[in-house]
Structure 1
């Protein structure tokens, strides 16, 4: 199964689609078909994990490639991209290439498994503020880990300097909702103020390649 690589032995590509709720499953099926027939056979492909947002309006592909050159060869291959024609009818909300910069706790199991509950916090940031945000993420991750339902927090920074994401793995929805309600977690809603715009969605992992 896919593993989040905090030692950065891969590059991470996160593609988030915006979709009408009634077409969410259609988009998921289209991505999986492309992965099964084409993507998984490409040189340098490591893994892909498809997530559906609980509210029905997002689909996320968390993909890993051996090198940046491998990924660029894939997206620049016109024959391969022609096979993705059906995906062009869906809107890409965000697409960036990332490296993992913080992964806590140190002993966390970082496997991505079907059925997992994921909180993806997206931070839109100016390049000059990106590393300051990373430092604050390192500082405040201990607050979030006081909630025993948070299995791991994995901060990523985009290589283009304009986006950070936190891929948080949770035990249950109730544990996450406690984070929103308990006053002791209030600093988590403030540390990025003045540095970034923030929004989040909750996702369920619905497919992995390699399979579990």
Structure 2
């Protein structure tokens, strides 16, 4: 059985051995809505494929043209088994409902560190931001240190990040980049943080050696699926 949830995922769940993020380009806000509805129908019509899939969440990009997918797997092998047996029939049904979806990337990660929600925090994330940080070739070992610097900068600037509910740093399996999945109270809170005066700690983050570039994207959580 597959059931829906409005709750956001918990990236710190110790059972997650293979977090996977992917992106679909669908073109318009209306097609975002139709594709998310098709995903929900397709999954709800079928039994949950395996207990090794802990959760599957879909987000609408505020660019009006993309969907981000975040699935939480117990292991890479469990995901590969799903692809072999269950994935294609779901893809075919969704593509029949919403033709022309462009699947532009699927990336595998391991979570490195998180700034978890504070104890007793009751605010619901109204805004999800992902930032991909690419590193120059040979920079695999620098990714952890860079993430550490970011977390230290956030800790040293609690007022400027009052709207940040959590931040989760994932290292790509190919060694090339870091993905920060962050939950914010609202888009306004995120904009205020971006507009805040820079500090020495943030300058060290921005000028860290080996960083090749940053790519940020904004999302709204539109679909959560869990085993029933």
Structure 1 ranges of 4+ moved more than 6 A: 108-111
1:183 to 197, 200, 218: 197
Specify the alignment match of 2:3 in structure 1: none
Closer/same/farther in 2, CA of residues 172 and 38 from structure 1, 3 Å limit: same
2:128 to 107, 112, 118: 118
Specify the alignment match of 2:79 in structure 1: 71
**d(CA) in 2 for partners of 1:106, 1:12:** 19
| Post-superposition offset of 1:195 | 2.1
1:132 to 118, 142, 151: 142
**d(CA) in 2 for partners of 1:27, 1:127:** 36
Equivalenced residues, count? 208
Q: Which runs of 5+ in 2 are unaligned?
A: 1-6
1:24 to 20, 29, 32: 32
For the pair shown, which has the larger CA radius of gyration, 1 or 2?
2
| Post-superposition offset of 1:169 | 0.7
| Root-mean-square deviation over aligned CA pairs | 2.9
Show CA shifts across 1:133-164 (max 9, x none).
22111112232352111111111011122332
TM-score (norm 2): 0.78
Contact 1:119 1:169 in 2 (8 A): yes
Contact 1:3 1:110 in 2 (8 A): no
1:61 to 53, 63, 69: 69
TM-score (norm 1): 0.83
Contact 1:103 1:154 in 2 (8 A): yes
**d(CA) in 2 for partners of 1:165, 1:108:** 24
Specify the alignment match of 2:162 in structure 1: 148
**d(CA) in 1 for partners of 2:83, 2:73:** 12
**d(CA) in 1 for partners of 2:141, 2:52:** 28
Counterpart check, 1:14 vs 2:24: no
